[in-house]
Amino acid sequence: MALRVAILLSGRGSNAQALLDDCAAGGHAQVVRVISNRPGALGLKRAEAAGVPAAVVDHRAFPDRAAFEAALHGALTACGAELVCLAGFMRLLTAPFVEAWHDRLINIHPSLLPAFPGLDTHARALAEGVRFHGCTVHFVRAAMDAGPIIGQAAVPVHPSDDADSLAERVLAAEHRLYPWAVRAIAAGRVTVRDERAVIEGWGPPAGPWLNPAQ
């Protein structure tokens, strides 16, 4: 039976589109609901175009974070979600919510964690002069951008890069990595042991990768 996936987003939903397309093509998972905390988010239209039910749980409609998260939890439970994917969901989730979805809640972050948690990752990477940048899919924990790492994708930093060009290269990698992570989870190949994600049946790529090239 296909894994039942819900996607939480706040904006344009390009990673949501990658998940929608991959799940529809592969049959390993079914996106059963796309939820945004912002009315009018482009990601909602992407869901509707894919024939997936879309909903809004507007955080501004609730008196506090606990009430908002209770409504969000109820919406996810009602659609039978087994895995929740954060795809540009711009709200920090509290420890009780994260614990309720322990090891069933994943996120994609535009850096090679634990480097550059938080916002403005591409500009910060360039400011530090790193030679590789990238993205990370991880299980969510209460601390911001923390949790067992499922997979990472690295891209080279070019001498001519600005934040926008680097972001574009990383985003293309995100669109490959996130669907792969969902496929791996759906196949039962991801387990968490001692707060480390163990991936069965996949090994590391050949390397090393050098930048500048030698």
Q: Which residue among 48, 82, 101 closes a domain?
A: 101
| Lookup: tokens for 183 | 């496929």
Q: Across the chain, what does the average pLDDT equal?
A: 97
Backbone angles phi, psi at 45, to 5 degrees: -70, -35
For the chain, what percent of residues have pLDDT higher than 70? 100
What pLDDT digit, counting tens, does each position of 175-197 carry? 999 999 999 999 999 999 999 99
What pLDDT digit, counting tens, does each position of 145-173 carry? 999 999 999 999 999 999 999 999 999 99
Of the residues 109, 122, 133, 138, which is catalytic? 109
Domain range for 83 is 1-101
Q: Which residue among 71, 101, 131 closes a domain?
A: 101
Instruction: Tell me, yes or no, whether 95 and 3 share the same domain.
Output: yes
Prior bond of 148 cis (ω within 30°): no
CA separation for the pair 205, 214 (Å, rounded): 19
For residue 207, pLDDT over 90 is answered with no
Alpha-carbon dihedral sign for residues 81, 83, 89, 91: positive
User: What domain count does the chain have?
Assistant: 2
Instruction: Tell me, yes or no, whether 11 and 93 share the same domain.
Output: yes
Backbone angles phi, psi at 162, to 5 degrees: -115, 180
Is the pTM higher than 0.85? The answer reads: yes
Active site residue 175: no
CA separation for the pair 190, 202 (Å, rounded): 10
CATH number at residue 169: 3.40.50.170
What pLDDT digit, counting tens, does each position of 61-116 carry? 999 999 999 999 999 999 999 999 999 999 999 999 999 999 999 999 999 999 99
CA separation for the pair 61, 63 (Å, rounded): 7
Q: Which amino acid is at 148?
A: P
